[in-house]
Chains A and B, each alone.
Chain A
Amino acid sequence: MAAATTVNYYTNYSGSRPCRMKRGRLSIKPDSEVLPICDGAVKRRRSAAVGFLCSQSQQHDSVEDWGNLPHHVVLHIFQYLSLVDRARASSVCRPWNDVFHIPDLWRRFEFELNQPATSYLKSTHPDLIQQIIKRHAQHLQYVSFKVDSCTESAEAACDILSQLVNCTIKTLGLISTARPSFMNVSQSHFVSALTVVFVNSKSLSSIKIDDTPVDDPSLKVLVANNSDTLKLLKMSSCPHVSPAGILCVADQCHGLRELALNYHLLSDELLLALSSEKHVHLEHLRIDVVSENPGQTQFHTIKKSSWDAVVHHSPKVNIVMYFFLYEEEFDPFFCEQTPVTHLYFGRAVSKEMLGRIGLNCPRLVELVVCANGLEPLDEELIRIAERCKNLTAIGLGECEVTCSGFIEFVKMCGSRLTQLSIMEEVLVPDNSYSLEQIHNEVSKYLGRMWFPDMMPTW
């Protein structure tokens, strides 16, 4: 019995017992005892849908035939229920059980693969995984895998992937919730699993494969099978991909609108390919610039003409750059005009670099600086206020700005600063303003109440 088996593996980890109800036709009278569903633990988890139906039947004070509720109504209700609740409801009667298996309810699935030793999270029950592969694989369209830091979990994800043969998956996400574990899976295992999906689902539009051992040949397979549909590719920190590999994607997938990658994959050729006439407008380009030890990586420079081509082709593109570099590694960046819109500096950034940003980043929308040296950044900020007319958000961590300099900055930007997150320690009191006065002044220029961010002194 399908229903009975379904209920079993949904409910045994929800902690409450399944509600057993008579199969088949079921009549609900307003004051009847037919709804054992309303007791104890089950009551807490009782779906609003059932509650809604209860009150309806009470209002009408008539006998409703639950089994004959139109399928689409049950389906509609089911769409609001968690899988556990759907499973439980599906054991009520045959027609509800039928609805349980309707493809619409299986378009999206998130496989969670965790080990008790490495995660606080639960896993998708193996029986459920089996059932999905057997009965619902062809219905899946939006699939994600969440794995913990354990290699076994990532391997299990790959095993499932390689069984998704008869699918038409549109979006695929491989997500590491803790330390990335896909990197520990043997590359051949990973790549063969991934290419199964690439080959079989010929209409992939979004793929999120950050921190995985994906490589150039597998990207070629992706391109060969999904070039017409691919819109989004997120692949930060994929060390086995080369600039040529990603260039091949950009060359062939003309619908690609969003791309996330590491700086070492970014090339002039790539930007030109994304700006070719055949290519749609790019919406979002996310670039991570990471180096672990100073001087270990040599960073190349992107030509101004390539950046210009991107903005010319896609005037509205958002270019987001996250930097995790040492101060002395910033030389290749922002020496010429760069169309970056969002900047995050996760480690120290030099004063000089911030000065260049004011000069060369006219499209800047958001600037976040975690740390800087101990010299005040007044001039740099004021220049940014002057030149970056689109700037609406700024965040400063371990930096220093004098209160007067900061007020000047805020005054110049005015109310366009919708996000202003400044750690209290950043502001150095001077002759003109004390910390107490500053929030009034800033609030005045912003046209709303503003306070610096505070951290507990504990």
Chain B
Amino acid sequence: MAPNSIHWFRKGLRLHDNPALREAARGACTVRCVYFLDPWFAGSSNLGVNRWRFLLQCLEDLDANLQKLNSRLFVIRGQPANVFPRLFKEWKISRLTFEYDSEPFGKERDAAIKKLATEAGVEVIVKISHTLYDLDRIIELNGGQPPLTYKRFQTLISRMDPPDPPVEPLSEAFMGGCVTPVAEDHAEKYGVPSLEELGFDTEGLPSAVWPGGETEALTRIERHLERKAWVANFERPRMNANSLLASPTGLSPYLRFGCLSCRLFYFKLTDLYRKVKKNSWPPLSLYGQLLWREFFYTAATTNPRFDRMEGNPICVRIPWDRNPEALAKWAEAKTGFPWIDAIMTQLRQEGWIHHLARHAVACFLTRGDLWINWEEGMKVFEELLLDADWSVNAGSWMWLSCSSFFQQFFHCYCPVGFGRRTDPNGDFIRRYLPVLRGFPAKYIYDPWNAPDSVQAAAKCIVGIHYPRPMVNHAEASRLNIERMKQIYQQLSRYRGLGLLASVPSNHHGNGNGGLMAYSPGEQPAAAAVSAAQAPGAAGGSVTGGKGSGSILLNFDSEDQPGLSGGQQHGYHGTADPGQATASQRLYQACSSHEFAVPQHPGRLSHGGPSGKRERELERETMGDGDTHTSSRKVQRHSSEVSGK
């Protein structure tokens, strides 16, 4: 008997290149496409109205496109785990299909549903189509660990077969005899809800700059490619004032919700390149945007704590400031830096900002100026940014705050100069901060420096109509770069004066992509040694050498007393003791603030808890004589104590 199928939409809100959806229809008697929405959750979730609107538009478009195939979308109010058993019975379901979700919580949820379905005698078919590659394969190829640098990631995928081509869109012909039973009361029961129904106040809500849906996505990709063909230049476009604005060829929100298949995008890019460049094979950089997304998905898929510092094995622990007032100023565009405030206003109004604008505000919030935890910024982006995805959002924030991935941290975006170089005229500022409209270009990025007469003429007095700058950028960046340097020096065991050499990565030139000392099997000897060594005997040479950065991966090797010589470090409320130990160790290792000078190997140098290399120095200098003295001291002291 032909099966009755359900296709469960989560991401992947499209009919094109949707292999799981095709599996649902293949040879089936009936197919129903469902989307779960919990209205109660909607009101209480921290997603902003722009994100909800985008989602609802995607669902409406999906419903409209399904109607063209004589089908409908069923928006189910409730939670999948509660509702599926009823649906299975009511609709006599024997097949459930959905797109593979690589994110840890998605995997967990899907495993539960899979179990539940199997127990109900329902066959489950899962297909990968949200990412270009099978991420587990990338990890396998890297020896079981996700690659931690983008370069390494590129190396790995260049060794893999190209991604599968997109599958044909679901069509009437493919549906064949497969039908969707639709009841009279479908709209009431399963219709796409409105924003009002979800509890949003839509009065005065401006129309969407980024309309959601597959149809829009497919129009955009054509425009996107036309423009690329027109300029016939496949380099990364250089930033200018125009790139700051929402573009009708922008695709990132559509990739996020799966209105656009990344594989379709990939293959269309390839075709175009080969057409324009006369059949030469495209370089990896052509797919930059797609590969970055893929990189963060890969890094996150096996790490449930990817979105936090605490207990996250790949995240450097940085003693961020806890400062809700400063955070609020940043989030509400009241920092007093027009460049930062304009970007945050655009983000809140439209749901999208240029990637360099993201870099600017993220740097400002974290390592650049305010020294606030990147998790806070990530949460604000999650609320406001249309293309914020759990993996990509967290990964980017770790990247931009220099909390992971071994990138250089010297480059700090100036909240005045960066904007001025990008848009010297200041039109972007005037567009999003009308209060500053009257300022001439000369002062629009630092209005507090404008003479009183200029402020008066602009009808904007800094401190009254627009806030004063909330932070002294020069001082803050001086302090912060110093802190980052010390943190990184602890990680890399580097004691020299150089800033660049502080980052625990090195261009080893061993042919595996330069930076990748961290992949099992490809570790240089020193790294392997330091992981397995006896107490205190760390790998790496003593002078000027940087040990490998392998400390970031050694989080699971527990019996390494060498590192725990510190004191009572630790953050509040660690969930997993195993990981807490690891991250505590990481933190200990990075918390010491040393005057970065090649110290003569004193027994106990000043500063915080010592790293492995210091301890080794200690041991070396504690010759035999020394040990004897100390043991004599010990005995003397103990007799004193017992005499009491």
Residues of chain A having any CB pair with chain B under 8 Å: 10, 13-16, 41, 44-45, 47-49, 51, 70-72, 75, 79-85, 95, 98-99, 101-104, 107-110, 112, 116-122, 124-125, 128, 141-144, 146, 148-149, 170-173, 175-180, 206, 208, 211, 232, 234, 236-237, 258, 260, 283-284, 288, 290-294, 318, 320, 322, 324-325, 341-342, 344, 346-348, 365-366, 368, 370-371, 373-374, 393-395, 397-398, 418-421, 423-425, 429, 434-436, 443, 446-451, 453-458
Contacts and interface: CB of A to CB of B under 8 A. Distances in A.
A350 B627 CA distance: 56
A449 B560 contact: no
A288 B481 CA distance: 12
Interface stretch (B53-61, B66-74, B286-294, B458-466): B286-294
B474 A342 contact: no
A398 B565 contact: no
B319 A121 contact: yes
Residue among A49, A234, A370, A458 with the highest chain B CB neighbour number at 10 A: A458
Nearest to B370: A179
Given A72-B630, A146-B608, A149-B321, A344 B638 contact: no
A82 B288 contact: no
Nearest to B536: A80
23 contacts: A72-B630, A72-B635, A102-B637, A120-B320, A172-B606, A173-B607, A177-B319, A178-B371, A179-B371, A206-B595, A232-B597, A258-B597, A292-B473, A318-B497, A346-B412, A346-B481, A347-B417, A365-B498, A395-B499, A446-B507, A449-B508, A458-B252, A458-B358
Given A51-B559, A72-B631, A120 B322 contact: yes
A104 B535 CA distance: 19
A344 B481 contact: yes
Nearest to A346: B477
A103 B408 contact: no
A43 B95 CA distance: 47
Interface stretch (B40-48, B267-275, B567-575): B567-575
B159 interface: no
Contact of A397 (B410, B558, B627): B410
Contact of B501 (A175, A398, A418, A451): A418
B150 interface: yes
A72 B321 contact: no
Given A102-B633, A451-B151, 15 more contacts: A47-B564, A48-B561, A70-B631, A81-B564, A99-B634, A118-B321, A122-B571, A292-B472, A325-B474, A368-B499, A395-B499, A397-B412, A450-B509, A451-B514, A456-B355
B593 to A, nearest CB: 5
Interface string B545-577: 000000000000011111011111111101001
Interface string B198-226: 00000000000000000000000000000
Given A44-B558, A173-B607, A234 B595 contact: yes
Given A75-B631, A457-B288, A458-B355, A110 B513 contact: no
A98 B320 contact: no
B171 interface: no
Contacts of B472: 292
Contacts of A48: 535, 559-561
Contact of A173 (B151, B508, B593): B593
Contact of A44 (B479, B514, B577): B577
A13 to B, nearest CB: 7
B561 A397 contact: no
A175 B566 CA distance: 16
Interface in B415-465: 417-418, 421, 446, 448-449
Contacts of B497: 284, 318, 320, 341-342, 365-366
B634 A82 contact: no
A320 B566 CA distance: 30
Interface in B380-430: 387, 392, 395-396, 399-400, 407-408, 410-414, 417-418, 421
Given A292-B474, A346-B481, A171 B606 contact: yes
Given A368-B410, A455-B359, A436 B283 contact: yes
A148 to B, nearest CB: 7
Contact of A458 (B293, B475, B513, B560): B293
Interface string B602-644: 0011111100000000000000000100110111011001100
B577 A124 contact: no
B144 interface: no
B373 interface: yes
B386 to A, nearest CB: 12
Contacts of B482: 236
A230 to B, nearest CB: 13
Given A119-B319, A121-B319, A283-B597, A103 B633 contact: yes
A316 to B, nearest CB: 11
B521 interface: no
Given A13-B568, A98-B641, A117-B322, A170 B536 contact: no
A290 B564 contact: no
Residue among B400, B410, B421, B604 with the highest chain A CB neighbour number at 10 A: B410
Contact of A120 (B252, B285, B572, B634): B572
Residue among A85, A95, A293, A324 with the highest chain B CB neighbour number at 10 A: A324
Contact of A49 (B513, B561, B567, B605): B561
A125 B577 CA distance: 21
A436 to B, nearest CB: 5
Contacts of B635: 71-72
B481 A232 contact: no
Given A449-B509, A456-B292, A125 B477 contact: no
Contacts of B239: 425
B417 A82 contact: no
Nearest to A397: B411
Contacts of A119: 319, 321-322
Contacts of A118: 321-323
Contacts of B567: 82-83, 109-110, 112, 124
A70 B497 CA distance: 42
A421 B203 CA distance: 50
B188 interface: no
B510 interface: yes
B302 interface: no
Contacts of B483: 177
Nearest to B483: A177
B511 A322 contact: no
Contact of A292 (B399, B475, B481, B535): B475
A436 B595 CA distance: 40
B568 A14 contact: yes
A45 B558 CA distance: 8
B564 A10 contact: no
Residue among B418, B559, B593, B633 with the highest chain A CB neighbour number at 10 A: B593
Contact of A110 (B289, B413, B566, B630): B566
A144 B500 contact: no
B507 A448 contact: yes
Contacts of A454: 150-151
Nearest to B627: A72
Given A119-B319, A436-B285, A144 B498 contact: no
Contacts of A371: 414, 417-418, 421
A286 to B, nearest CB: 8
Contacts of A82: 564-568
Contact of B414 (A79, A121, A370, A374): A370
B504 to A, nearest CB: 13
Contacts of B475: 237, 290, 292, 324
Contact of A142 (B407, B558, B570, B605): B605
B577 A41 contact: yes
B633 A85 contact: no
A450 B514 contact: yes
Nearest to A71: B634
B481 A80 contact: no
B392 to A, nearest CB: 6
Residue among A47, A171, A394, A429 with the highest chain B CB neighbour number at 10 A: A171
